[in-house]
Amino acid sequence: MRRPDDMAAREVPEGMESPLAFAVAEQTRNTMNMVRNALDRQDVVLAFQPVVQGARPDTVVFHEGLIRILDETGRAIPARDFIDSVETSTLGRKIDCLALEMGLSALARNPALRLSINMSARSIGSPQWMRVLSDGLRADATVGERLILEVTESSAMLLPDLVCAFMRDQQCKGISFALDDFGAGHTSFRYLREFYFDLVKIDGQFIRGIAHNPDNQVLTEALMSISRHFDMFTVAESVETAEDATFLQTIGIDCMQGYYFGAPTLQPPWLTPLPQRSLQAG
């Protein structure tokens, strides 16, 4: 008699998809269709989240502009729910273009704003994305000094030589660069030395609950030590409690970002209309 585990272990006949592979492929197709439809409707927005100074958390250093698409009901879908499915496709390049375009527009409208925008290393090779960047810099001479481009660790490692050359060229124009999700991938420290990122964002998996996690405390301090060696500022991502924030302050983190200091919002302070004065107020 064949045991259940033997049956489960049977190979899928050649030419047939396994149920799991089919489900994953179907989910990817559905996600790409949702993104494609949202782009066709132009239902794409930026949400803004503050990044605060470590020593003075009441001081906002810059904001991160986070891409959101709106589904047919108007619900905002965060990038984490779709970016992996579209990253390598033309949809990924369109999303990067729109994020950069909206970020540059926000910087042009508010001279006091400093903003970071996420990008994929693949977009460096996109003529349209490069044109959006060039047009934005040409339209406002101050934009470059207030723009931070965030590249994920995994993305940067895919095309290190291209990223290095691009960074050297754009840093001459005042643009800063952040290495996102630091510690989540497999960084080559040879390339980390050559990249010259201005700041690194330590991945949230090391930050959440850090006040009570000795392992994450050691790992975070090690990542901070590496960053300081290369003269890069450190940002702790996913700071969600007062205890975690206090611990990060004690070890000298430069900046913090997370729900404890503010959730991403479509209505940041500079876009919130001031209350109308009463006609009787004088």
* Per-residue pLDDT reduced to its tens digit, 114-144: 999 999 999 999 999 999 999 999 999 899 9
Q: d(Cα 109, Cα 57) in Å, to the nearest integer?
A: 25
Give me 224's structure tokens.
């901070």
Task: Tell me the CA distances in angstroms from 59 to 53, 87, 110, 155, 194, one per residue in order.
Answer: 6, 34, 18, 30, 31
Based on the structure, what is the number of domains in the chain?
A: 1
- Any domain includes 195: yes
User: Taking a C-beta distance cutoff of 8 angstroms, is the pair 123, 96 a contact?
Assistant: yes
- Any domain includes 76: yes
Residues of the chain with pLDDT under 70: 1-17, 20, 22-24, 186-190, 272-282
- Any domain includes 278: no
- Any domain includes 123: yes
Q: What domain range includes position 234?
A: 45-268
- Any domain includes 279: no
pLDDT at 264: 96
pLDDT at 24: 63
User: Taking a C-beta distance cutoff of 8 angstroms, is the pair 224, 247 a contact?
Assistant: no
- Any domain includes 32: no
- Any domain includes 215: yes
SS3 66: strand
pLDDT at 53: 98
- CATH number, domain of 222, equals 3.20.20.450
- Any domain includes 82: yes
Q: d(Cα 134, Cα 137) in Å, to the nearest integer?
A: 5
Instruction: Fill in the amino acid letter for 27.
Output: Q
Provide the residue count of the chain: 282
